[in-house]
Structure 1
Amino acid sequence: AFAETTLRVVSLSPSLTELMYHLGRGEWLVGRSDACDYPAEAKAKPIAGKFADPHLEAIIGLRPDLVIANDLMNPGIIKTLDKVNIRVEVLPGETLEEYRACVVRLGELLSAKEAAAAEVARIDALLTQLPPPLPIKVLWVIWDAPPMVGGKNSLPDALIRLTGAENIAGNVDQPYFKCSFDWLLENQPDVIIWCTHDRDISEHRIWKQMRAIRENRVVSNIDPDIVLRPGPRLLGGVAFLRQQLAAMAKQMAVQ
C-alpha cells in the first residue's frame, strides 16, 4: 500500500468512484470516467474518457499516482500507463464476494482501512443474516429483446437469494444468458424484476403472455445503479427489493 499521504487518483469505474467517496477519500479523486456520476460531487471532477474506453492522454495529463479500474479495462492501456510509470490497480467487482475483496484492497491502497473494515462488516452482516424465505419465484430480466436474464452466480442471482426469494433462472449455469421465448413461457416466474427504465417490457407480444406481467407483478421502481453497480448503495437496494417482493408474496397469498 501507499504511504499515508494524499494521492492523486483517477477512477475509471463508477462503483470504485462511489466506494472512494464512501471510504472518505473523495477529495483524492482527480479524474473519472464519463459514467462515474455518483455521488453528485464526483461529477465536478475532470473526465478521463468513457467507462470502457478511457482517454490515455487525458489520464496522463491528470498526473495520477494511481489509476483504479475494473476488469473491463483495456489491457493495452494498462501496459501503456505502466510504461510511463503510472500505477494501475484492476479491482474486479462483479459479485458481492468480489466487491468485498475490492473494499479491503481499496482500503489498503487509500489508507482507509477503518472505513473499509466498517463496510466489510456491513457486507458480512448481509451475507450471513439471511431473511426468512419468501415463497416466490423471481426472474431478473436484464434485456427484453432478445431476452437476457440473470442466471447462476450473477449479481442479480445473489441479490434475489439475499431477499429470501428463488431465482427461477438460478440453475442455469451462466451468469447472464440469452434465453428463448419458449424457455420464458415454460419457466413462468411469479415476479419479474425489470430495471431498464427507458423501455416498456410489456410492449412485446411475447412478454404479454407472461403471467407476472399480465397480473402486474413487476418490480421496476428501482434505480439500476443501486442494484447493478456493486457498491455501497447495494445493501439498501437489497432491503428495498426484499420489501417489494414480500409485498407481492403477500398479495399472491391473499388471491
Structure 2
Amino acid sequence: MKLAHLCFAMLSLLVTTVSAQAKERIISIGGDVTEIIYALGAQDELVGRDTTSNQPAAVNNVKDIGYMRQLNTEGILSLKPTMVITSDLAQPSAVLEQIKNVGIPVVYVSGKHSLQAIPQKVETVAKALHREKEAKPLQENIDKTIASLPSKQQPIKVIYIMAHSGISNLVAGKDTAADAAIHDAGLQNGMGNTLHYQPMSQEGIIAAAPDVIMTDSDAIKTIGGADNLWKLPGVAMTPAGKNHNLIIIDQMALLGFGIRTPEAIKALRSKAEALSHG
C-alpha cells in the first residue's frame, strides 16, 4: 500500500512538473502588447503576432497574422494557439469571440491613449503569463520615467501629419494618440480644435500655424522624402515650414502608449524645445 501511494505521489509530481514546464502557444495582437511580452521574457512562447508588432526586431521572425484591425479566424487558429493576448482596439471583435468560443482564452489589454494605462497593460499581460515577478522592475522603471516628465506646459504648437499610400494625408485632432502624446509632452496640438483625424487642407494648416511638424518614417517614405513635406499644401507658409522644424517619430514608440512611450514623450518635448528655440 505504501509503495502504491509513493508511486501515485511520484506520478502526480511528474504530471505537475510537465504541465508547469509546458509552454503556452501565444498569439500577440498589438505592438504595445508584444513589446511587453518581450520585456517580461516570454518571447519563446510567441507563435504569432500582428503586423503592428515589429519591435524588438527579433519579433519579425514570428509568424505575421495580418493587420490588427483586419483579423482572420482561420489564420489565428492555424497556429494552434493556447492563448491570445490582444489590444482591445483589435477588430473585428467577432473574430475574437469565435476564438473564445472554441475554447482558447482571449486576454484583452487596454488600448487607451494614456500614460496611466501603461502600467495597467503591463499588469494585465504579466498576470496572464504568470510573470508578476518579472513585471515589478519594469513597472518601477515606467513609473519613474512618467514621474520625471516635465509638468510645465509650453506654448509650442505641434501638428502630426499621417500619410499612407492610398489615402489622403491626414492631421491629428482631439481624441487621437497623437493629441494625447503632444499634451503629455507639455506641448500644444495645433489641430486641437478638430476631432479625430481630418483630411489635410491648406487653410487648416495655415490657420494652425504650427511651430513644429511631427510625422513618422512611413509618412516620409509615402510623400517621397522630407523635402517634399514642405511642398504639402500650406506647410511652407507656417512657422514650422519657414524654419524647417521637423520631428520624425517612431510611431509605435510614441503613439502606441506602450513601455517605450514615456521615454518617447520625453524625447518629443526635448526636440520640440530645441527646434523652437533654435
* TM-score normalised by L of structure 2: 0.77
The answer to whether 1:182 aligns with 2:210 is no
Task: List aligned pairs for 1:52-201, cutoff 5 A.
Answer: 52-70=69-87, 71-96=89-114, 97-131=116-150, 132-143=152-163, 146=168, 148-172=170-194, 174-178=195-199, 180-195=201-216, 196-198=219-221, 199=223, 200-201=228-229
The one-letter code sitting in structure 2 at the alignment partner of 1:190 is D
The one-letter code sitting in structure 1 at the alignment partner of 2:27 is V
CA contact (8 A) 1:9 1:68 kept: yes
What secondary structure sits across from 1:192 in the alignment? strand
Instruction: Note the C-alpha offset of 1:216.
Output: 0.8
What secondary structure sits across from 1:119 in the alignment? helix
* 2:258 corresponds to: 231
**CA distance in structure 2 between the partners assigned to 1:208 and 1:43 by the alignment:** 38
The answer to whether 1:39 aligns with 2:56 is yes
**CA distance in structure 2 between the partners assigned to 1:140 and 1:241 by the alignment:** 12
> Structure 1's 4 and 74: CA in aligned 2 closer, same or farther, altered over 3 A?
farther
CA contact (8 A) 2:177 2:256 kept: no
The one-letter code sitting in structure 2 at the alignment partner of 1:79 is E
**CA distance in structure 2 between the partners assigned to 1:50 and 1:143 by the alignment:** 17
* 1:213 corresponds to: 241
> Structure 1's 204 and 168: CA in aligned 2 closer, same or farther, altered over 3 A?
closer
Identity of aligned residues (%): 24
Is there any run of 5+ residues in structure 2 with no aligned partner, and where? 1-18
**CA distance in structure 1 between the partners assigned to 2:200 and 2:65 by the alignment:** 36
* 1:18 corresponds to: 35
Instruction: Note the C-alpha offset of 1:146.
Output: 4.6
CA contact (8 A) 1:11 1:67 kept: yes
The one-letter code sitting in structure 1 at the alignment partner of 2:140 is A
Aligned length: 247
**CA distance in structure 2 between the partners assigned to 1:176 and 1:101 by the alignment:** 26
Greater share of residues in helix: 2
Computed over aligned residues only, the root mean square deviation of the Cα atoms, in angstroms, reads 2.6
The Cα offsets for residues 192-215 of structure 1, whole Å up to 9 and x where unpaired, read as 112222123222242222231122
